[in-house]
A and B are shown apart, each in its own frame.
Chain A
Amino acid sequence: MRGGGPQAGAVRVGTRLPPLEIEITRTLIVAGAIASRDYQDVHHDPESARRKGSPDIFMNILTTNGLVGRYVTDHFGPNAVLRKVAVRLGAPNRPGDTMVLTGTVEEADGETVTVGVVGSNGIGRHVTGTVTLTLPGWGAG
């Protein structure tokens, strides 16, 4: 199956991906931790999180990584192949917040596209990242 993503030539440096809003619910944080087999108590137990200096539980980095990957492949479609995902965390994603993911194409070299991604929440930048993907068969000319 082809399609679902931008057509060849549509990927230009500076292209902005449509923003994606993610509601940071307690359920999402816990479900993400469990789906990633991360049983660190700060991702599911508010009491433990408070003892460790955080006012509440917070999203784990694996979930953030997954959301960043999804954000980019949602845009480029099922033929896009992720090659590299690098994320750096800042302000934590805590329950009740909303994270807005935005992305900008930073490089487009033949089949290879690099996208800068930022996820902002109510207290700052939760994540800044760089995603490198290839779009097979595209942009060769």
Chain B
Amino acid sequence: MIRHWCEVMGDTNPAYTGPDAIAPPTMLQVWTMGGLSGHAGRTEAFDELLGLLDEAGCTSVVATDCEQEYLRPLRPGDEVTFDAVIESVSDRKRTKLGTGYFVTTRMDVPVAGEPVGIHRFRILKYAPAPGGTGARRPRPVINRDNAGFWEGVARHRLLIQRCSGCGTPRFPWLPGCGACGSPDWDTVEAGGEGTVYSYVVVHHPPFPAFDPPYAVGLIALAEGVRIVADVVGVPCDKVRIGMPVRLEFHRYDEELQLPVFRPLDGDGRSGEPIGHGEEPG
């Protein structure tokens, strides 16, 4: 195995050949690998954890970090054992690959009871980002009755209809006034202030191009109408009825922009930072 490894790495270090050969220290993890048949007789904790993350939709895995300490060289004939501990599982993080959890394990590697190495390993167990599959959000259905609304969105203006007869504001856009029946209307631009009137958190089903869980709010605008829109910039379980929010426009792809709402207060931080593990490694 040492010869194969050195051949692949192009490593001609003479320390790894001859009667006094040591194993390349960076092979530490190799000695712990289960190979094709896997390890028998290990506790189920790690498999159980991976299974739970699979169930949470995080079916893909990528290694992100490896930290090894070498306490003494390993030599042919050494019989390696190892103890693995799950050190930590992160909160759900948003990364370029998709959202998921960083799982850190630590392996202590002894030979006949003497510690020879420490191997700390981090993986990202994640749900692949929908963008990578080419899935796009559904397109809005634009017709004569609502075209003015979408033209406003394109110019980052949230336009509300107002009845020319009785002055009642209405949203979403409709051909006539629900209060007085007048077909005449003009528009007012929403100032952008609103509060969460109600909301849902979508967990299921996982449509392509959507990344559950996410919060969809029914936002009461200061102008007196309500609009359904995503609540962004806050964990979905922190959205509350009455939460003050402010309008912004989010671009989902080259042609789709939508109004979304972001909380105004201290909870309104701009979401999780993009983590490492930008792409599979």
| Chain A positions near chain B (C-beta within 8 angstroms) | 1, 22, 28, 31-32, 34-39, 42, 52-54, 58-70, 73-74, 78, 81-93, 123-124, 126-127
Contacts and interface: CB of A to CB of B under 8 A. Distances in A.
A36 B68 contact: no
Contact of B29 (A22, A36, A58, A93): A36
Given A37-B30, A37-B35, A53-B132, A74 B66 contact: no
B67 interface: yes
A92 B279 contact: yes
A123 B279 contact: yes
Given A28-B8, A78-B15, A66 B279 contact: no
B24 A69 contact: yes
Nearest to B27: A66
Contacts of A66: 5, 8-9, 11, 24, 26-27
Contacts of B33: 36-38
A58 B62 CA distance: 11
Interface in B226-281: 276-281
A84 B70 CA distance: 6
Q: For the complex, would chain A's binding face be called helix, strand, loop or mixed by DSSP majority?
A: mixed
Contacts of A1: 14
B151 interface: no
Contact of A35 (B1, B25, B62, B63): B1
Given A36-B33, A64-B281, A82-B26, A87 B66 contact: yes
A69 B60 CA distance: 28
A89 B124 CA distance: 11
B231 to A, nearest CB: 27
Interface in B3-61: 4-5, 7-11, 13-15, 24-27, 29-30, 33-36, 60
A132 to B, nearest CB: 9
B14 A61 contact: no
B64 interface: yes
Contacts of B1: 35
A92 B5 CA distance: 21
A89 B63 contact: yes
B83 interface: no
A83 B278 contact: no
B128 interface: yes
A103 to B, nearest CB: 15
A53 B124 CA distance: 14
Given A65-B26, A88-B64, 13 more contacts: A34-B4, A38-B33, A53-B98, A59-B281, A62-B30, A63-B8, A68-B26, A83-B70, A84-B68, A87-B67, A88-B276, A89-B63, A124-B279
B70 A90 contact: no
Contact of B30 (A36, A59, A126): A36
A87 B65 contact: yes
B167 interface: no
Contacts of B14: 1, 78
27 contacts: A22-B10, A28-B8, A31-B7, A35-B4, A35-B30, A54-B280, A61-B63, A62-B26, A62-B30, A63-B8, A64-B281, A65-B26, A69-B11, A69-B26, A73-B13, A74-B11, A78-B15, A82-B70, A85-B68, A87-B65, A90-B278, A90-B279, A91-B279, A91-B281, A92-B280, A93-B281, A127-B281
